[in-house]
Each structure stands twice: as C-alpha cells, then as structure tokens.
Chains A and B, each alone.
Chain A
Amino acid sequence: MTATVNTAAALALGDDALVLSHRLGEWAGHAPVLEEEVALANIALDLLGQARVLLSLVGDEDELAYLREERAFRNVQLVEQPNGDFAHTIARQLYFSTYQRLLYGRLAAAGEVGDLAGLAAKAVKEVAYHQDHAEQWTLRLGDGTPESHERMLRACTALWRFTGELFQPVDGLDVDWRELESDWLASVTAVLERATLPVPDGPRTGAWSAGAGRQGLHTESFGRMLAEMQHLHRSHPGASW
C-alpha cells in the first residue's frame, strides 16, 4: 500500500493538517465563548485525524510528528502562523479550509492516487463544515461592529501574503493548480465581499517573505510551536497513557 503513496504529497497534506490542528488546539481554555472552544477543538480533532492517516501512509506517525526537525516539515507557512486574535484565527481558517476543501475535492474525484483518494473523499466532507464555520464568522465579524470589522480587515490583510504558497504544485498530486487557485480566489472573494471586507490588494507571495514552507523553510514562530508540541515526546520517549 505504502508504495502507491507519494511521500512528498502525504507529508505536505499531513503536515498542513498536523500543524493547523496544533495551532487550533492552543485555543483550548482561551476561546471567547464555550461554543467556540468546542468548535475549534472539534476542527482540530478532524485535522489531527487526517494527519494521522496521512503520516501513517509514509512512516511512523509519532516519529514523523515528534522527532523531525523544523526544516523537515513540509506544511505551508499559512498554517503555522500564530493564532493572533480571534479574527486572525478565522481569517487563517477561511483561507485554509477553502483551499483544503477544493484540493481534497479534486483528489477525491481523480480517484487515482490510491490511499490518498480514500482519505480525501472522507476528509472533504469534514472540511465542508470547517469552511462553513469560517465563512459564518467572517460574515459576522466583517459585517459586525466597527471594531470587529477593523480586526477582521487587519487579519485578512496580514495573512494575505501567505496564500500564494498554497498553489505551488506538490509532487505526486495530479491537480490543475492554476484552476485551483482561480476557484479559491473566486470563493474567498465572494465571502469577503458579502462580509463588506475589501479583497486585500497586496502581493500573495514574495521572495522576501512567504512561500517556502513546502521546501522546509518556515517562519520564526514555527520553531517555538514545534518545541512545545514535541517537548513531551522528546523528554519521555515512547510515553503513553
């Protein structure tokens, strides 16, 4: 089975899911209301489940999650960005869940990537709820109070430069990346417009900043996140309960 799965593809998708899952897990105990606490934890759990399946396709899930160095992770830089305020988390969710849903939808429909297609067909249904959650909050915050509008605007703008990287072709994924990108742009634009938010006009990538997560180059905060995520396993190898 493992032979049919491209390692680069499984690591890219698996690391995206793992890292975002951990970021969302950081909200536990800090979310603005109890319902959001539960919602973000449930989304994190879905992503963790996807990550476990994907990483297990190409190795030992625990070794891959807990014993790799920063440069060996293949996630896009968008998912490693700190939670920021609630608006930042929602903007990150909007950008990423839209991407993930469109990508999984294509992988499921292609049905030729072996085990990846099975995971994609399952995950796309879960991600539909993640996207819906992000859209509803984007509308509510963007078209809410002056304060919520301002914060949502700031968040959407700040994370915009990490969205170009999402459409870098991944080895082993037979996807029309340009079409994926234009579908993503159309979907996100529609939500932002309904939320009375302008579509950010800055660059979506740049040599000076974003766009190298898939090659193992990450932003400053990622190292600190990994240190926390891997600390227990590295201190107590093989610990379980």
Chain B
Amino acid sequence: MVTGTADRTALEEELSRLAGSVPDPELPVLTLEELGVLRGVHVLGPGRVQVELTPTYTGCPAVEAMSSDIERVLRDHGVPDVSVVTVLSPAWSTDDISAEGRRKLAEFGIAPPRHQGGGATGPVPLTLAIRCPHCGSTETELLSRFSSTACKALRRCTACREPFDHFKEL
C-alpha cells in the first residue's frame, strides 16, 4: 500500500518507456517518444494510469490509433485502467522530434523538418535548402505544400529526379 516516491517515479518511468516505444501508426519507423508527442504518464492509483498525448496536427486522425495502441501496451503490461487524454498546450512543434527520429525519417525516405527555434507564429519558412533523402542533393523543388498527410509537403529532387515527402516545419 505504501509506495515511496522513488518507486512511483520508477514505475512511471517504466510505463513512459513502454508508451514511448509504441510506433507511430502512420510513420512506423518512428516511436511516439521520438516523435515527441508523449507529454506525461501519471500513476493515479493502483492499476490506474493516465497518459497525456499531444496531436501533431489538430485534425490528425492518427491520434485515435495512438491512444488505443498505448492502452493496449500498458494493459498487456498489467495496468488494467489506462486513460489517454489529449493536451493541446503547449502546441507540438516539429522541433520536438528527436535527433534519432530525424535520422530515421531521412533513412525512411522522408526529408526531416528543419529546426525552427522559437518563432512559432512567424511566416512559413521556405528558404533553407531541403536535402533529397535519396541522393543527398540540396537541389530540390516544392511540388505541393500538402502531401500524403497533413504533416508533409511533396518535393522533387532536381538532381536524381525522385519525388519525396518532406516533413514540413510546424
């Protein structure tokens, strides 16, 4: 019954690690931890856990799949009562994607987002070069601001001519 703070933190850390290891349903090369959408895991009582998740885009349909995947993983780990709540504030940014996440995106054929640092309400950044994930050339052009999902833009490499997705800055 008596649980020390240290124990509880250790449990929460373990559950965070488990929840964070869930793959993103649309970009399965990334984990939720690497995507930076996991905001917190709180043990509310014996067998009761609340997970805070933030959506990448407000209308991102992957959130429901993420929630049910997290619930399943934690239940399988012996937590019977798991609730996943979405939090909007502070707003998710592509800067929240980890370095490892960026590396995996590029390896998967998706140009990772450029770092923005601050200025979230500034104009849409379009100036810095975006590298082709196939041949590495920086000679790439924008085909469409919107691609297969809300979070990506469609580009083409003018060197190797391959089209590719770019995880656009948000």
Contacts and interface: CB of A to CB of B under 8 A. Distances in A.
B91 A121 contact: yes
A234 interface: no
Q: What's the interface size class on A, roughly?
A: 20 to 34
B145 interface: yes
B145 A123 contact: no
Contacts of A38: 144, 146-148, 154
Contacts of B90: 121
Contacts of B74: none
Interface string B6-39: 0000000000000000000000000000000000
Nearest to B88: A118
B170 interface: yes
A33 B21 CA distance: 39
Contacts of B120: 121, 124-125
A49 B58 contact: yes
A122 B145 contact: no
Contact of A45 (B59, B88, B92): B59
A65 to B, nearest CB: 14
A45 B150 contact: yes
Interface in B125-166: 143-150, 154
Contact of A46 (B58, B89, B143): B58
B146 A128 contact: no
Contact of A121 (B60, B89, B145, B147): B89
A66 B148 CA distance: 28
Nearest to B60: A49
Contact of B154 (A35, A48, A115, A126): A35
B146 A53 contact: no
Nearest to B87: A118
A13 B150 CA distance: 21
A192 B147 CA distance: 27
A118 B54 CA distance: 11
Chain B interface, >50% SS class: loop
B121 interface: yes
B124 interface: yes
B59 A50 contact: yes
B89 A43 contact: no
B57 interface: yes
Contacts of A132: 123-124, 145
A48 B59 contact: yes
Contacts of B89: 117-118, 121-122
A130 to B, nearest CB: 9
B102 interface: no
A39 interface: yes
Interface in A3-50: 35-36, 38-39, 41-43, 45-50
Interface in A83-130: 105, 108-109, 115, 117-119, 121-126, 128-129
27 contacts: A35-B144, A38-B144, A38-B146, A38-B147, A39-B146, A41-B146, A43-B146, A45-B59, A45-B61, A46-B59, A47-B59, A48-B59, A49-B55, A50-B59, A118-B89, A121-B89, A121-B90, A121-B91, A122-B88, A122-B91, A125-B91, A125-B93, A126-B58, A128-B124, A129-B168, A132-B124, A133-B146
